[in-house]
């Protein structure tokens, strides 16, 4: 795993705008002004290029060998179009499924959700990170589903989940990546077994005003689900899903800030996303 993937110096060009989004500077009513978020830290962004602020890359690199949904024969392909030896420069074409690797599900993925990937409000890509660590529970039950009581236990320790939060389950399943057999965890009947959210926890998080749900497995629904019941609840409510997240071990349960930037694919039901967690000082 790789930690401290630092955002390039190009961030300085939009530093004022991004700082306003993250810290609520001069913008009353933004996420950072709400209770239970990390206090404003003007040094957070300035510390990124200098390496003083850690940024965790929560994204698996895309290639043709990572786990895909069962039954998918082809998920990704990249071909060299121009080579330095022949053409003096290097370019490729690539093809992939919308829901492959670390990706975002748009609300339109499950009707009556309507927003496609390019229509999700930009402000929803930025939010306080809520990480609910259920590794202990998952070690005892591969089919574990996050309960509303477990969400409330997190709130008892860290405060009420703020509106605008991006809520993620840290299940530990990413330790199985990229072993497709272990990651899918199919039984003799070709049923997958991995943890996920429950409908009751999703409804509670919707009521709290979360903008996205995330997990380090193939789906926010647990593997044995037959009808993707959580997708049918959160996506029509306007949330998005982040699936196959990486490096969650490095993100604290509270206090970090997430940037989830998907490809702006017109009409997309989902697509690859680059997810960063900006860690608080200390």
Per-residue pLDDT tens digits for 126-174 = 999 999 999 999 999 999 999 999 999 999 999 999 999 999 999 999 9
Residue 186: pLDDT band with limits 50, 70, 90: very high
Q: CA dist 55 to 3, 146, 207, 278, Å?
A: 7, 27, 29, 5
Q: For residue range 78-131, what is the model confidence (pLDDT) as tens digits?
A: 999 999 999 999 998 999 999 999 999 999 999 999 999 999 999 999 999 999
> 56 near 251, Cβ under 8 Å?
yes
8 A C-beta contact, residue 110 and residue 116? no
Q: What is the mean pLDDT of the chain?
A: 88
Q: What is the pLDDT of residue 65?
A: 92
Check residue 251 and give its pLDDT: 98
Domains of the chain listed by start with CATH number: 9-70+98-278 (3.50.30.50)
Q: What pLDDT shows up at residue 50?
A: 85
| pLDDT confidence of residue 19 | 40
Contact 150, 134 (CB under 8 A): yes
Q: CA-CA distance, 138 to 195, in Å (whole number)?
A: 7
pLDDT at 30: 35
Q: What is the DSSP letter of 111?
A: T
Please give the Cα distance from 55 to 275 (Å, whole number): 10
pLDDT (tens digit per residue) in 6-64? 333 333 333 333 444 344 433 223 333 334 445 445 678 888 888 889 999 999 999 99
- What distances in angstroms separate CA 167 from CA 83, 132, 133, 190, 255, one per listed residue? 43, 8, 11, 30, 12
Per-residue pLDDT tens over the stretch 215-270: 999 999 999 999 999 999 999 999 999 999 999 999 999 999 999 999 999 999 99
Cα(139)–Cα(227) distance, rounded to whole angstroms?
A: 25
Structure tokens at 263: 């490809």
Band (pLDDT 50/70/90 cuts) for residue 72 is confident
As beta bridge partners, residue 80 has: 92
Q: What is the pLDDT of residue 64?
A: 94
Question: How far is 249 from 175, CA to CA, in rounded Å?
Answer: 10
Give residue 41's pLDDT. 52
Dihedral (CA of 14, 18, 23, 25) sign: positive
């Amino acid at each position: 795993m790789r930690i401290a993937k630092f955002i390039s110096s190009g961030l300085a060009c939009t530093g004022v705008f991004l700082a306003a989004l993250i810290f609520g500077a001069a913008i009353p009513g933004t996420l950072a002004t709400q209770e239970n978020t990390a206090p404003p830290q003007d040094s957070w962004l300035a510390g990124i290029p200098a390496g003083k602020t850690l940024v965790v890359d929560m994204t698996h690199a895309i290639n043709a060998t990572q786990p895909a949904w069962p039954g998918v024969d082809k998920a990704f392909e990249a071909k060299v179009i121009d080579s330095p030896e022949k053409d003096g420069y290097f370019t490729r074409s690539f093809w992939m499924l919308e829901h492959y690797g670390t990706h975002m599900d748009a609300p339109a993925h499950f009707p009556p959700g309507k927003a496609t990937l390019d229509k999700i409000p930009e402000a929803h890509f930025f939010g306080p990170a809520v990480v609910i660590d259920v590794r202990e529970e998952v070690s005892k039950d591969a089919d574990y589903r996050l309960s509303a009581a477990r969400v409330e236990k997190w709130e008892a320790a860290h405060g009420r989940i703020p509106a605008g939060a991006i809520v993620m389950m840290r299940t530990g399943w990413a330790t199985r990546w990229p072993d497709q057999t272990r990651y899918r965890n199919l039984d003799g009947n070709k049923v997958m077994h991995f943890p996920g959210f429950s409908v009751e926890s999703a409804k509670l998080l919707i009521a709290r005003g979360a903008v996205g749900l995330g997990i380090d497995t193939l789906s926010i629904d647990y593997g044995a689900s037959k009808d993707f019941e959580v997708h049918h609840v959160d996506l029509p409510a306007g949330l998005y899903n982040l699936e196959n997240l990486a490096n969650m071990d490095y993100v604290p349960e509270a206090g970090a800030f997430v940037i989830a930037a998907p490809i702006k694919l017109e009409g997309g039901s989902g697509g690859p996303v680059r997810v960063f967690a900006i860690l608080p000082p200390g």
